[in-house]
Chain A
Amino acid sequence: MSRPPDMLQGMLDLLILRVLQLEPMHGWAIGQRIRQLSDEVLQVQQGSLYPALHKLEEQGWIDATWGESENRRRAKYYALTRAGRKRVHEETANWERLSSAIALVVRTT
């Protein structure tokens, strides 16, 4: 089962990193927060959230620790690493450049 070729999925890494920029949280909370921040527009496909998280962890952008959740259950909390913080800035800048370029094309034609 490969990931559906969705633009949302392509930007999933950036979304996760941005969310984690605010504070460390566990996987479920990340999904909820993305939904909240986007006013319910972006519903992350559950099948792709965790693979993306694990890939980011493996690549060294985020770090994971086990801690206690709000309802006192064991949960895995993700946080940005220093390299991850830099990456967020780079990726955000890239995204803004890309989206303004696309906006130009879409508006003029």
Chain B
Amino acid sequence: MSGIFLSGSGAVSPAGWGQEKLLAALRGGELPPTQTIERPGWTRPLTVRRVPAPSPRPAWAAHARMRRAAAISQFAMGAAAEALRDSSGGSLGIVFCTTCGCVNYSRRFYDEVLRDPTVASPLLFPETVFNAPASHLSAVLGTAAANYTLVGDTGVFLHGLALAAGWLAAGRVERCLVVAAEEADWIIADALRHFRKSATLTEGAGAVLLTRGRTAGAFAELECVTDPEPFATRGRRSLRADALQRVATGLPTGLAATGDASCMGEGFSASTVWQVLAAIDTARRSPLPRAMVCVPGAYQEAIGASFMIHPAEIP
């Protein structure tokens, strides 16, 4: 076993702010409704699932760093705060994972640049960098420890788990938040329709808190993250299935629960963390000793992970 435990988790999704709202929706409850999003130059709007406004407004939203922060940063902070609610003490590292990044501010800023760069807003530009959400997390949580932003395919959250586990094993930090987040924007919905016309873009975040050694609130242990299996270099649909198969053979055998968050829509890295939380939730409820996820990837690679479930009270 790795000795790396999941000691907290959180989620923000179109089902609402909070992991339980996400899991209730995935367990077969009512899916959140879709909304339309205007696409410039088109008469037909695009379809997305958006995160509703939080109610009540969380205390961290008043922090100076969050006032002008983009939605992706707000989602990440919401999930992170939930994952940390029962944790305190010890150095805290942050690994932020994303596929699309800070799209909304990037699109808005570039639009202004194209119109007239002399008046493009300097308030927007800093929020376009991939690591802006991670920076806000560090500032609001008050941790100056190491902080990485990973950019990758849909399964990048699992890369983040592996990186965080390495930090913990090496003693770089005593706790590590791994967060994945995405935000919806017409430009992403537009890009998605080139590949899957019926796909619904979604947005949100998920977070897990990893610790070295089992803490009081630990509910699962990271068993393994597989090597990624690339498929895009050959680019055919059948080879994605082959890559998934290779990932599956790299995972432990035996009874395991799996998770599926695809009914929420395409949320890229956020979908993966929701899938992990759903798998662990299913395993804890069944109960099954293990939760596993295989992530097919959107454009590059398949990857998987396995978690050993520890007995705990079912909420």
A binds B: no
